[in-house]
Amino acid sequence: MPATTVLDLNDTLRERDLPAASAILHPLAPQEAAALLEQLSPRRRTIGFRLLLKDQALEVFDSLDADNQAELISELGSAEVAAAFDNLEPEDRAELLDELPANVAKQLVRALSPEERDLTSVVLGFPRGSVGRRMSPEFIHGFTDDSATTVLDRVKARGHQVQSIYIVPVLDRGRHLVGVVSLRELLLADPEEPVGGFAKTPIYAHALDDAETTAERCVDRGISAMPVVDAEDRLVGILTLDDAIEIVDAARDVDEARAGAREPLRESYLLASVFAITKSRVVWLFVLAISAILTVNVLEIFEGTLEQKVALALFIPLLTGIGGNTGSQAATTVTRALATGEVHPRDAARVAGKEIRVGLTMGTALGVVGFAVASLIYGLGIGSVIGLTIISVCTMAATVGGLMPLLAKLIRVDPAVFSTPFISTFCDATGLIIYFMIAKAVLGI
């Protein structure tokens, strides 16, 4: 999407040149129009949405994020809202309902047809954060003894109702998942062949599995739809690649932003106001600054030592920098491994064992260099203090950095919140204590 189009659209809306804005929006595919609107301020987004063609509007609404949909709902007339809401897939509807005030949500659900209401409640029956909550409960299936033509006819008859028709789950007569066939295989197969004969091993998930890990797996394998089964291995829904991408992207945007000590920006960067950008950062900056006051307190304790040997102050930023970087390295590695399901909180001992050794190895390598350089310039005493501090700080920072994300996961906080920025601050303070303890011991002050 060329950024200029967003800026153009924004300009036309600011100047209230509605025909020009329509001329930009009308030729666009719904997903492109939604992507443009999502980058505007809420007020201009609503104006832009009202300019859409009637059919286009429904599809654009469907393509918007749930929080954008929720904002629009308060602005639109009730007839428009009912139409847009009815047009959504059950799982998107469940997500939107989570964003709406309870009374609005209730009213919208009441207006649904009984069938749509049932499908929505299947999804709402699974806990938040589970893949059951994000799957589509509408799917086309085949039984093992159905012929390719039978299944293909079912696809043609019901294809306009269900979201994914490119992967068809194959069930035994007890409705247990036994395989999948792709629409491509159905088209290319001998029409009379039973689908059980050419069904492939399915890549599937359990409804209570974590939505993020499952979505990550679906995207990673590049499969266009993943069947979802209940505890008895019976098919209950399908996670489409679309929805999986949305889950993964939303999670990664938040992780990435938090690792950079900010909240994700909801509008386009160039269009966002200074106020909006400041808002996304200032709280984090205050929290970190307040935690950093700890470092002032730590240094105060050692003010006497500092007065006796001012040269010690010269190395403060170097040492805290090394600690902070080592801690971030470990934290981002483990956060990523947690997201892909490679590591679980129960692996804490293995992670700690690994990070202690990695920290010690890196600390020794860096410490020897630090010792040599500092000894040459400031003498053996200061050299030894610097060398020993680097080894200790690296080991401590790697271990803390590796364990923090696991702790966060255990107490059900987003690991990204805990990771980089907090670890830096924590390592700064702890590193300073280690530094001055070693200095007092080695230099005898």
Q: Which of residues 209-228 bind its own copies (CB under 8 A)?
A: 217, 219-224
Establish if 443 lies at the interface with its own copies (CB under 8 A): no
Instruction: Return d(Cα 113, Cα 162) in angstroms, integer.
Output: 16
Longest dimension (CA), the chain: 92
Among 117, 175, 266, 281, binds its own copies (CB under 8 A): 281
**Which is closer to its own copies, CB of 42 or CB of 317?**
317
Establish if 252 lies at the interface with its own copies (CB under 8 A): yes
Rg (CA), the chain: 28
Interface residues for its own copies in 409-428 (CB under 8 A)? 420-421, 424-425, 428
Among 131, 241, 396, 403, binds its own copies (CB under 8 A): 241
Q: Which of 55, 57, 138 is closest to 93 using CA atoms? A: 138
**Count of chain residues binding its own copies (CB under 8 A):** 115
CB of 115 to its own copies, least distance (A): 20
Q: How many residues does the chain have?
A: 445
CB of 103 to its own copies, least distance (A): 32
Instruction: Return d(Cα 398, Cα 329) in angstroms, integer.
Output: 8
Cβ pair 237, 164 in contact under 8 A: no
**Which is closer to its own copies, CB of 349 or CB of 411?**
349
Q: Give the CA distances from residue 17 to residues 12, 20, 28, 72, 398, in Å, rounded to whole numbers and listed in that order.
A: 5, 6, 18, 21, 56
Residue range at the interface with its own copies (CB under 8 A); choices 41-49, 119-127, 140-148, 294-302: 294-302
Residues 360-372 as b or e (16 or more Cβ within 10 Å = b): bebbeebbeebbe
Establish if 277 lies at the interface with its own copies (CB under 8 A): yes
Cβ pair 395, 360 in contact under 8 A: yes
Instruction: Return d(Cα 312, Cα 307) in angstroms, integer.
Output: 9
**Which is closer to its own copies, CB of 117 or CB of 321?**
321
CB of 292 to its own copies, least distance (A): 4
Establish if 440 lies at the interface with its own copies (CB under 8 A): no
- Phi (first) and psi of residue 341, to 5 degrees: 80, 10
Tokens standing for 205?
């998930």
CB of 70 to its own copies, least distance (A): 20
Residue range at the interface with its own copies (CB under 8 A); choices 123-131, 170-178, 227-235, 257-265: 257-265
Establish if 322 lies at the interface with its own copies (CB under 8 A): yes
CB of 133 to its own copies, least distance (A): 19
**Which is closer to its own copies, CB of 23 or CB of 187?**
187
Interface residues for its own copies in 6-45 (CB under 8 A)? 6, 27-29, 31-32, 35, 39
Tokens standing for 152?
């293909």
Instruction: Return d(Cα 286, Cα 361) in angstroms, integer.
Output: 35
Residues 6+ apart with CB under 8 A from 144: 170, 171, 172, 178, 179, 194, 195, 196, 199
- What single string gives the DSSP state of each residue in 348-369? HHHHHHHHHHHHHHHHHHHHHH
Cβ pair 415, 409 in contact under 8 A: yes
Cβ pair 328, 424 in contact under 8 A: yes
Establish if 341 lies at the interface with its own copies (CB under 8 A): yes
CB of 171 to its own copies, least distance (A): 18
Establish if 432 lies at the interface with its own copies (CB under 8 A): yes
**Which is closer to its own copies, CB of 295 or CB of 384?**
295
- Name the residue with tokens 């050794």: 357
Instruction: Return d(Cα 286, Cα 307) in angstroms, integer.
Output: 30
Residue range at the interface with its own copies (CB under 8 A); choices 78-86, 94-102, 140-148, 254-262: 254-262
**Which is closer to its own copies, CB of 20 or CB of 348?**
348
Strand pairing report for 205-206 and 142-143: unpaired
Cβ pair 291, 425 in contact under 8 A: yes
Interface residues for its own copies in 161-200 (CB under 8 A)? 165-166, 183-184, 187-188, 200
Helices 420-443, 380-410: crossing angle, 10 deg rounding: 150
Establish if 358 lies at the interface with its own copies (CB under 8 A): yes
Among 53, 111, 289, 368, binds its own copies (CB under 8 A): 289
Establish if 285 lies at the interface with its own copies (CB under 8 A): yes
Among 350, 376, 379, 441, binds its own copies (CB under 8 A): 350
Residues pairing with 167 in the sheet: 182
**Which is closer to its own copies, CB of 72 or CB of 261?**
261
CB of 230 to its own copies, least distance (A): 18
Among 246, 254, 381, 437, binds its own copies (CB under 8 A): 246
Establish if 389 lies at the interface with its own copies (CB under 8 A): no
Establish if 3 lies at the interface with its own copies (CB under 8 A): yes
Establish if 343 lies at the interface with its own copies (CB under 8 A): yes
**Which is closer to its own copies, CB of 369 or CB of 380?**
369
